[in-house]
A = this chain, B = another copy of it.
Amino acid sequence: MKLYDGGKAPNPRRVRIYLAEKEIDVLLEAVDMNKLGHKSELISSRNPLQRLPVLELDDGTIISESVAICRYFEELHPEPALMGVDAVDKAVVEMWQRRMEMHLLLLVANVFRHAHPAMADWEVPQVKEFSDANKPKVMTTLAWLNAELKDREFIAGDRFSIADITAMIAIDFMKPARLQVPEDHKYLLAWYKNVKMRPSADA
């Protein structure tokens, strides 16, 4: 088994943090996205969408999409549970993972990809007005999330989950997108400090 990895980008990090939390060792093959390695024949032939990471099983089966890769490992190694423990909990974790993905990570990515000069060859065409339109939406999500975190330790409840990983990489991604968590969002900032202290955050 081999994981084609993409370095510092949010999705490769998401899977590496997940694996670190699970203490699962997987052979990583570095792909340099700065040199457009994700558009190489090596990756394109495995994932026509030219996105990383990509997991290749020993029989040649390809699994792309970060959350699908995590699902594969979650099924094989249920403990510690990062995607829920029973029907209700699995649904609640998936709800929060998707909320963090569609209403935070995606919005931050839209701000970044449609405005940053380094993304001009990646996001064609860049639509600056769309980048700007996403900025207040990010702030709306952050305010909501701050209020949600008043009464619980983690995004999806009292247990660290994949929803925390997605939210953490989204907030990390705000830096290159030139966005900041407002200083008065104390519950959100306390949660962020807490998850960033976990050893997995450096994966």
Binding site for B on A (CB under 8 A): 48-49, 57, 61, 63-65, 67-69, 71-72, 75-76, 86-88, 90-92, 94-95, 98-99, 103, 125, 127, 129-130, 133, 144
Question: Are A133 and B125 neighbours in the complex by a CB distance under 8 Å?
Answer: yes
Instruction: Provide a sorted-by-A list of 27 A–B residue pairs whose CB atoms are within 8 angstroms.
Output: A48-B144, A49-B99, A61-B88, A63-B88, A63-B91, A63-B92, A64-B95, A64-B99, A65-B95, A68-B91, A68-B92, A68-B94, A68-B95, A68-B98, A69-B91, A71-B94, A72-B87, A72-B90, A72-B91, A75-B86, A75-B90, A127-B127, A127-B129, A127-B130, A127-B133, A129-B130, A130-B130
Cβ of A72 and Cβ of B99 under 8 Å apart? no
Cα distance A72–B94 when bound, in Å? 9
Cα distance A18–B133 in the bound complex, in angstroms: 33
Chain B residue at minimum C-beta to C-beta distance from A87: B75
Q: Contact at A57–B88, with CB atoms within 8 Å?
A: yes
Instruction: List residues of chain B with CB within 8 A of the CB of A94.
Output: 65, 67-68, 71
**Copies of the protein in its oligomer:** 2
**Residues in B whose Cβ lies below 8 Å from that of A144:** 48
B91 and A71 contacting across the interface, CB-CB below 8 Å: yes
Which residue of the partner chain B has the closest CB to A55?
Answer: B91
Q: Which residues of B contact A72 (CB under 8 A)?
A: 87-88, 90-91
Assembled-state Cα–Cα distance A129/B129 (Å): 8
In angstroms, Cα B133 to Cα A67, docked, is 26
Chain B residues with CB under 8 A of A86? 75
